[in-house]
């Protein structure tokens, strides 16, 4: 990724200079300080260096961000900050998001549009040369692989590599526990088909990834949205209450770097969730597609790591970290393995043998771990930069999540801003954003939008953010 880079010494020097001015009283409590962009010009440093310096000052408790106003020296009584609300209805709903998704999502195919709404990183971030080398190596070793069918449950080589990587989260997964799929969505779909039927109620987070809602809709099931905290995840108390009042066929969650909120559940909460669902005999489907993108040094443990009854079905994919085009995912189905294997075979027989072997070849060394570290550094830097700019450019009343990983930001705009209308207006300006209404079966989160921070930084991105800020400000004034 071609991004502005900085050394630790440089951004600390900028932060220390501001700290000294605050200590001497040159900058007083409540006073506005220079914007991120002005600091980069004045100090002759990159915007990313300025962002990291301001982040450090925020961590030290010396400054605070105020939407549409910029950064200020922190006063003893901090400014009020609100929590992004999640108050879904207490009843299960028939899902109807497919038509809206079709209208909203397909427009991002236009190359002239700045794709701030897509949940896909820039192609420049992926290790294309390394994957190409792995592919040619596989073909050279086995030229017949181009004409071979893949078989259920998948190639032994790839399943062994996935099992080996389970050690990074304290797992003890055997390769025989794994079934390869065509991406994570197919894995989740197979799990739902294995444990539930049309008309059944599926509990899930609110907001949640609209792709999960599409799957539920396509299977004729109903969605029961559970209140979800943007920092800590699904409310276990609300989930316990809801599942005690009605029969629930399955529960689908994203505990590690959730889409769209970006939180990572606390480990004790994960343990309690697994225990609760096992006690209630409700199958627990875990979407872990963003799990490897946790900004923390230690990867968040999947729910599967606390599973003692085989009740958790862990689904994931390499789509978000290696290549969307490969479309190779996997599931660890626990006690539902037999059903998953049958459904997998009748659905699509198997996944491309050559793609599986290519991934297995790539995963053998330490290249993947180095790639992940670089990817996470780039995403965290980009998240910080976009968040800082949005704080300066969007009007008062805007609330922004603080993701624990990934590359997505969730914005709650002032109450009179309709995210779907903003999406349409922004599209006419060549900017694509994902309206919050997509992420709920109840069409909630009307004043929310999701923004992609996984793009290679170009002048088009800050221009797009500035334009979005202007549009939101204009709407709020009306």
**The last residue of a domain, from among 312, 343, 368:** 368
Is the same domain home to 327 and 380? no
CA distances from 233 to 262, 444, 471 (A): 9, 17, 31
Beta pairing class for 434-435 and 431-432: unpaired
Instruction: Give the model's pLDDT for residue 451.
Output: 96
In a domain, 283, yes or no: yes
**The last residue of a domain, from among 368, 401, 422:** 368
Instruction: Give the model's pLDDT for residue 323.
Output: 86
Instruction: Give the model's pLDDT for residue 2.
Output: 39
Say how far apart CA 299 and CA 319 lie, in whole Å. Answer: 18
Chain segment 341-357, per-residue pLDDT in tens: 999 999 888 889 999 99
Range of the domain at 208: 128-368
Instruction: Give the model's pLDDT for residue 80.
Output: 29
Q: First vs last Cα of the chain: how many Å apart? A: 40
For the chain, what is the domain count? 3
What is the CATH number for 302?
3.40.640.10
DSSP state letter for 32: B
Instruction: Give the model's pLDDT for residue 3.
Output: 40
In a domain, 80, yes or no: no
Is the same domain home to 15 and 34? yes
In a domain, 109, yes or no: yes
Q: Which of 73, 51, 115 is nearest to 386 (CA)?
A: 51
Is the same domain home to 30 and 143? no
Is the same domain home to 12 and 107? no
Is the same domain home to 410 and 450? yes
DSSP state letter for 397: T
In a domain, 215, yes or no: yes
In a domain, 1, yes or no: no
In a domain, 83, yes or no: no
Over the chain (478 residues), what is each successive 10-residue block's mean pLDDT?
A: 46 78 68 86 85 80 77 55 57 82 72 88 91 95 85 94 88 91 96 98 96 96 94 93 94 97 96 98 98 91 95 96 90 97 90 94 91 93 89 90 94 92 94 95 91 91 95 92
Is the same domain home to 388 and 433? yes
Is the same domain home to 364 and 420? no
Is the same domain home to 172 and 132? yes
* Sign for the pseudo-dihedral over CA of 279, 281, 282, 285: positive
In a domain, 27, yes or no: yes
For tokens 């991002």, name the residue: 108
What is the CATH number for 59?
1.10.10.10
Whether 166 and 330 have beta carbons less than 8 Å apart is answered as: no
Is the same domain home to 262 and 136? yes
Instruction: Give the model's pLDDT for residue 84.
Output: 59
Instruction: Give the model's pLDDT for residue 147.
Output: 83
Instruction: Give the model's pLDDT for residue 79.
Output: 27
Is the same domain home to 418 and 430? yes
Distance from CA of residue 199 to its chain's centroid? Answer: 29
Whether 285 and 191 have beta carbons less than 8 Å apart is answered as: yes
Say how far apart CA 192 and CA 438 lie, in whole Å. Answer: 21
Instruction: With residue 143 as reference, give the H or E element that holds it.
Output: none
For tokens 């939407």, name the residue: 67
**Count of beta carbons in the 10 Å neighbourhood of residue 276:** 16
Is the same domain home to 343 and 414? no
Say how far apart CA 22 and CA 50 lie, in whole Å. Answer: 17
Phi, psi of 98 (to 5 degrees): -60, -45
Say how far apart CA 64 and CA 79 lie, in whole Å. Answer: 8
Is the same domain home to 30 and 173? no
In a domain, 172, yes or no: yes
Chain segment 92-117, per-residue pLDDT in tens: 878 888 888 887 876 656 778 899 99
**The last residue of a domain, from among 345, 368, 391:** 368
CA distances from 164 to 1, 55, 169, 335 (A): 28, 36, 10, 21
């Amino acid at each position: 990724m071609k991004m502005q880079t900085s050394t630790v010494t440089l951004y600390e020097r900028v932060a220390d200079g501001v700290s000294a001015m605050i200590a001497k009283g040159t900058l007083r409590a409540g006073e506005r300080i220079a914007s991120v962009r002005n600091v980069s010009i004045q100090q002759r440093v990159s915007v990313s260096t300025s962002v990291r310096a301001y982040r450090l000052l925020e961590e030290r408790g010396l400054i605070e961000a105020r939407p549409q106003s910029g950064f200020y020296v922190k006063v003893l009584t901090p400014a009020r900050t609100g929590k992004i609300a999640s108050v879904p209805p207490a009843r299960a709903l028939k899902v109807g998001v497919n038509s809206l998704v079709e209208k909203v999502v397909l427009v991002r195919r236009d190359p002239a549009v700045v794709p701030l709404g897509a949940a896909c990183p820039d192609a420049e971030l992926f290790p294309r040369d390394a994957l190409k080398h792995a592919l040619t190596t596989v073909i050279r070793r086995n030229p017949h692989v181009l004409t071979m069918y893949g078989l259920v449950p998948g190639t032994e080589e790839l399943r062994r590599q996935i099992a080996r990587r389970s050690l990074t989260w304290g797992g003890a997964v055997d390769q025989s526990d794994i079934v390869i799929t065509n991406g994570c969505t197919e894995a989740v779909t197979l799990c739902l088909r294995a444990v539930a039927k049309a008309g059944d109620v599926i509990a899930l987070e609110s907001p949640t990834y609209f792709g999960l809602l599409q799957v539920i809709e396509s299977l004729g099931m109903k969605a029961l949205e559970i209140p979800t905290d943007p920092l800590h995840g699904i409310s276990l108390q609300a989930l316990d209450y809801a599942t005690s009042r009605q029969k629930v066929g399955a529960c689908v969650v994203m505990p590690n770097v959730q889409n769209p909120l970006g939180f990572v559940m606390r480990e004790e909460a994960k343990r309690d969730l697994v225990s609760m669902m096992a006690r209630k005999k409700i199958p627990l489907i875990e979407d872990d597609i963003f799990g490897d993108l946790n900004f923390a040094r230690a990867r968040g443990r999947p729910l599967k790591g606390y599973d003692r009854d085989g009740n958790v079905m862990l689904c994931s994919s390499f789509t978000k970290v290696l290549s969307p085009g490969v479309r190779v995912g996997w599931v660890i189905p626990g006690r539902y393995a037999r059903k998953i294997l049958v459904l997998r075979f009748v659905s699509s027989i198997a996944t491309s043998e050559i793609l599986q072997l290519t991934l297995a070849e790539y995963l053998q060394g330490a290249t993947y771990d180095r790639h992940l570290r670089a990817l996470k550094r780039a995403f965290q830097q980009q998240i910080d930069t976009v968040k800082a700019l949005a704080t300066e450019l969007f009007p008062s009343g805007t609330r922004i999540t603080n993701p624990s990983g990934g590359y997505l930001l969730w914005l709650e705009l002032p109450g009179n801003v309709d995210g779907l209308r903003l999406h349409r207006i922004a599209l006419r300006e060549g900017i694509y954003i994902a309206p919050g209404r997509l992420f709920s079966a109840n069409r909630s989160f009307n004043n929310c939008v999701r923004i992609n921070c996984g793009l290679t930084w170009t002048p088009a991105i800050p221009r797009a953010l500035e334009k979005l800020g202007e549009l939101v400000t204009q709407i709020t004034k009306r």
